[in-house]
Amino acid sequence: MNSTAHRWLRACAALFVMAPFAAHAEGQVVEQVKTYAISGSTAPELYASIGERGPKAGIGRAIAHTNFKLTWQRNYVPQGDGCTLVSAKPKLIITYTLPKPSGRLPDGLKQRWDVFYEGVRRHELVHGQMIKDMVATIERTTIGLSVPGDPGCKKIRQEIIKPLSEASLAQRQQSSDFDRVELNDGGNVHRLILSFVNGQ
């Protein structure tokens, strides 16, 4: 693989790790796809267009990007001289940004593109699942938390910061480890690129 392709792979890794949280069945979860237009009549041209128009990642660009917006409805209830977080419902919006050819592709190229696109899409879905799993972890580690000497429910808001931070750091590591395997030589995304561009 040439140096340009390596730079794009590193850019992909930089974007793919941006997935710190996840969700629960009782909350609201929305998953949506956003596309950006690329052009070309050959596989190398389409891949070059991805390099020019893909989501920004540091000084370069990535093939795809998974992002999210997470808000909570938390119910803090005073109990005696303390406070308990009795419920926390997330509203999670996951956005997958993926490439889409602007024109119709010849049949042979379209078949290669479809395989490439599906592989990239599945990679992003793993990140989406990690996000949803992380929200569930946050719920498990915060709902039911009680803080004594907090009748105004102020201390508890600080107490939940620690499990939130721990969950976020663990998620980032999980995501980074996944991308390291997928993007390194011989990894799934690496092989998808070689197969698409070079027909290997």
Gap between the Cα atoms of 77 and 91, Å rounded: 21
pLDDT computed for residue 57 by the predictor: 74
- At 83 the pLDDT is 97
Domain that holds residue 157: 3-198
Tally of domains in the chain: 1
pLDDT higher than threshold 60 for residue 158? yes
Strands 56-57 and 146-147: unpaired
Distance CA 86, CA 121 (A): 37
DSSP assignment of 38-94: E--SSHHHHHHHHHHHSPEETTEE-S-EEEEEEEEEEEEEEETTEEEEEEEEEEEEE
* pLDDT at site 137: 94
- Collapsing DSSP to helix, strand or coil, 147 comes out as strand
Is the pLDDT higher at 7 or at 50? 50
**What's the confidence (pLDDT) of residue 176?**
83
Any idea of the CA torsion for 13, 16, 20, 24, to the nearest 10 degrees?
-150
* CA–CA distance, 51 with 62 (Å, rounded to integer): 7
Find residue 101's DSSP bridge partners. 38
DSSP for residue 18:
-
Give per-residue pLDDT as tens, 95-133: 999 999 999 999 999 999 999 999 999 999 999 999 999
User: Is the model's pLDDT at 161 over the cut of 70?
Assistant: yes
Name the helix (H) or strand (E) containing 1: none
Query: What span, in angstroms and rounded, lies between the C-alpha atoms of 127 and 66?
Result: 7
